[in-house]
A = this chain, B = another copy of it.
């Protein structure tokens, strides 16, 4: 039955995919607010109104790209945690490092996920679910690490601090703010150390 999906495409191999790639490329160059439906269509080689066959409006297109970002983020953090082993201190350090690494390695996605022109989580159910899953991964990891230690502060408060610290490092770096203009690797490992000092 799934073979029916193999029908020859109408005109474009996968226009939806091409539009999302164009969206990411434009967001990377000029920020989420600089993305234009008409230019994404131009880049994909179709007419200005073709995107409306795949997304109800511009915000839905941005939301779809943002959702991909959350999936990618989730995956990268999982990988980092798998590589980190069992020690709570190492795991939390890896969490912070992975956060900053992701933001600097996938700035287009990160800007679409959190930047100011970015769509609200409520823009689509898929985006909302993906964002929640990423949040649960952060909170769950901190909770399990806290369980293995003598917790001086509640896990929710620690999550908030850790998240804020990593997010601040990432956004200030992306905005090329002074003191944050080092290379990605340095900033990521500085974040690891800062997180670990945070819990010591």
A161 to B194 Cα, complex, angstroms = 7
Asked if B179 and A168 sit within 8 Å, CB to CB, the answer is no
One digit per residue, 1 when the CB lies within 8 angstroms of any chain B CB and 0 when it does not, for chain A 164-175 equals 111111011001
Residues of B within 8 A of A178 (CB): 132, 135
Give A198 Cβ to nearest chain B Cβ, in Å. Answer: 7
Other A-B contacts than A32-B116, A164-B172, 15 sampled, CB-CB below 8 A, are: A33-B33, A114-B175, A116-B117, A117-B117, A153-B197, A156-B179, A157-B190, A160-B169, A160-B180, A161-B197, A164-B167, A164-B169, A165-B168, A168-B168, A168-B171
- One complex includes copies of this chain to the number of 2
**How many Å from the CB of A19 to the closest CB on chain B?**
21
CB-CB < 8 A to A168: which residues of B? Answer: 163-169, 171
A118-140, CB < 8 A from B: 118, 132, 135, 139
Could you name 30 residue pairs across A and B whose Cβ atoms are closer than 8 Å?
A31-B33, A31-B116, A31-B117, A32-B116, A33-B33, A114-B175, A116-B116, A116-B117, A117-B117, A156-B179, A157-B190, A159-B179, A160-B169, A160-B179, A160-B190, A161-B165, A163-B168, A163-B172, A163-B179, A164-B165, A164-B167, A164-B169, A164-B180, A165-B168, A166-B168, A167-B168, A168-B168, A168-B171, A171-B171, A197-B198
Q: Give the contacting residue for A116; candidates B111, B135, B161, B169; CB below 8 A.
A: B111
User: Which residues of A pack against B, CB within 8 Å?
Assistant: 31-33, 111, 114-118, 132, 135, 139, 153, 156-157, 159-161, 163-169, 171-172, 175, 178-180, 190, 194, 197-198
CA distance A160 to B172 in the complex (A): 10
A171 CA to B180 CA, complexed, in Å: 17
